[in-house]
Amino acid sequence: MTDSRIAKAQLGTGGPEVGVQGLGCMGMSFAYGPTDADEARATLERALELGVTHYDTADVYGQGDNEEFLAPFFRAHRDEVVIATKFAMTIPPDEPTKRIIRNDPPYIRQAVEASLKRLGVEVIDLYYMHRRDVNVPIEETVGAMAELVREGKVKQLGLSEVTGGELRAAQTVHPIAAVQSEWSLFSRDIEAGVVPAARELGVTLVPYSPLGRGFLTGSFTNADTELTAGDFRRQQPRFTGDNAAANAALLEPIRAVAKAHDASAGQIALAWVHQQASVHDLPVVPIPGTRRRTRIEENTAATRIVLSEDDLGVLDGIAAQVSGNRYADMTFVSAGRE
Ligand SMILES: NC(=O)c1ccc[n+]([C@@H]2O[C@H](COP(=O)([O-])OP(=O)(O)OC[C@H]3O[C@@H](n4cnc5c(N)ncnc54)[C@H](OP(=O)(O)O)[C@@H]3O)[C@@H](O)[C@H]2O)c1
């Protein structure tokens, strides 16, 4: 019998080994419409059986609900899992599409205490700054995060959606284990500045939304008409209106590669992200999100697909043809500040 557990990769220089694919848990409480909590819990357990040991959440996902939802699973498997969570963002209750970003030291201290309490653990394995508040020097933010490491509240530090320059400045204050940024067949802007900086500094890349928030699987083709009213993807330009129709046509070459590998389009999208580790010579640990057991099986199986040079030739050209930005306000992500 072959071992169905996935391979491992290192999370930051000197950091722990984790399954080469992590699990994004955001959709279990936030952003992507109604959830079946029992199936989501079963998905967490199945993921662990398959060798997924790195679980990603954030305080803003469901305004603390996601951390609380995950807490029993984390406590039951504390020695087997690497818990990643994030601070920096809040959503005003009366303005659900707005984001308030804070990176100042007093806020960080308050946020970490709240996350530790909700998670019900003594220490967070990987603590990320979720978004950059440009009014606070990054050295000051990372200095406050480093204090949490010294106090034993946090083991490793991460940054999400920083530029290459911001990553270099941060690393002068404290080692950064991971950068979490959007990276997929549709979103390749980080390859210009962030990926080279991460490789040079020994930082692991944690690609989020590697399935293009589900669009690359073909599970929806138009957010306006197919997704529920509060679904976050309805705010993203590339999934709505004429952009969505144009982008759905870009799935055809992915399906052709998938057919040749007897795989799904989603698996090819994931295999492409995994393969960027050898293309760019750095550790890459994507965190596709799912709330369903069948999909965690499908997604982890994609770690075993090896794409040929011809496949990469077909797939590599897709991102340049995508219509619409990945966020409505691009200053919210690194590409808007590079
Ligand atoms: N740092 C940041 O700013 C940031 C931003 C976004 C996300 N994240 C993190 O990254 C994680 C992953 O990103 P994401 O969830 O936005 O996007 P994603 O992983 O690209 O896609 C998730 C979507 O794809 C669907 N899906 C998953 N596997 C599938 C399969 N095999 N077939 C068909 N559909 C499938 C999921 O639905 P089901 O759940 O129903 O299966 C969900 O709607 C999040 O959970 C979160 O932890 C971080």
pLDDT digits (tens, 9 = 90+) for 231-259: 999 999 999 999 999 999 999 999 999 99
CA distance 331 to 329: 6
For atom 45 of ligand 1, which residue has the closest CA?
A: 24
User: Is residue 2 scored above 90 in pLDDT?
Assistant: no
DSSP tally for the chain: helices H, then strands E = 12, 11
The pLDDT mean for the chain works out to 97
List the domain range (segments joined by +) for residue 175: 9-329
Residue type, 199: R
Q: Catalytic site residue 61?
A: yes
Residue 337 lies in a domain: no
pLDDT band of residue 96 (cuts 50, 70, 90) is confident
pLDDT digits (tens, 9 = 90+) for 110-123: 999 999 999 999 99
* C-alpha 211 – ligand 1 centre gap (Å): 7
CA dihedral 299, 303, 308, 312 (to 10 degrees): 60
CATH number of the domain that residue 250 is part of: 3.20.20.100
Residue 4 lies in a domain: no
**Ligand 1 environment, Cβ below 6 A:** 24-27, 32, 56, 130, 160-161, 180, 208-214, 217, 219, 266, 287-292, 295, 298-299
Are 126 and 178 in contact by the 8 Å Cβ rule? The answer is: yes
Residue 301 lies in a domain: yes
End-to-end CA, the chain? 48
**Residue 139 burial class via C-beta count within 10 angstroms: exposed 0-12, middle 13-18, buried 19 and up:** middle
Residue 265 lies in a domain: yes
Q: State how many domains the chain has.
A: 1
Residue 36 lies in a domain: yes
Residue 176 lies in a domain: yes
CA distance 25 to 52: 12
The percent of residues in the chain predicted with pLDDT above 90, rounded, is 96
For atom 10 of ligand 1, which residue has the closest CA?
A: 208
Alpha carbon 68 to chain centroid, angstroms: 19
pLDDT at 1: 44
Residue 334 lies in a domain: no
Residues 6+ apart with CB under 8 A from 2: none
Residue 193 lies in a domain: yes
Q: How many CA atoms lie within 13 A of 156 on its CB side?
A: 21
CA distance 46 to 30: 21
Mean pLDDT of the region 157-167: 98
Residue type, 294: T
Q: Are strands 100-101 and 178-182 parallel, antiparallel or unpaired?
A: unpaired
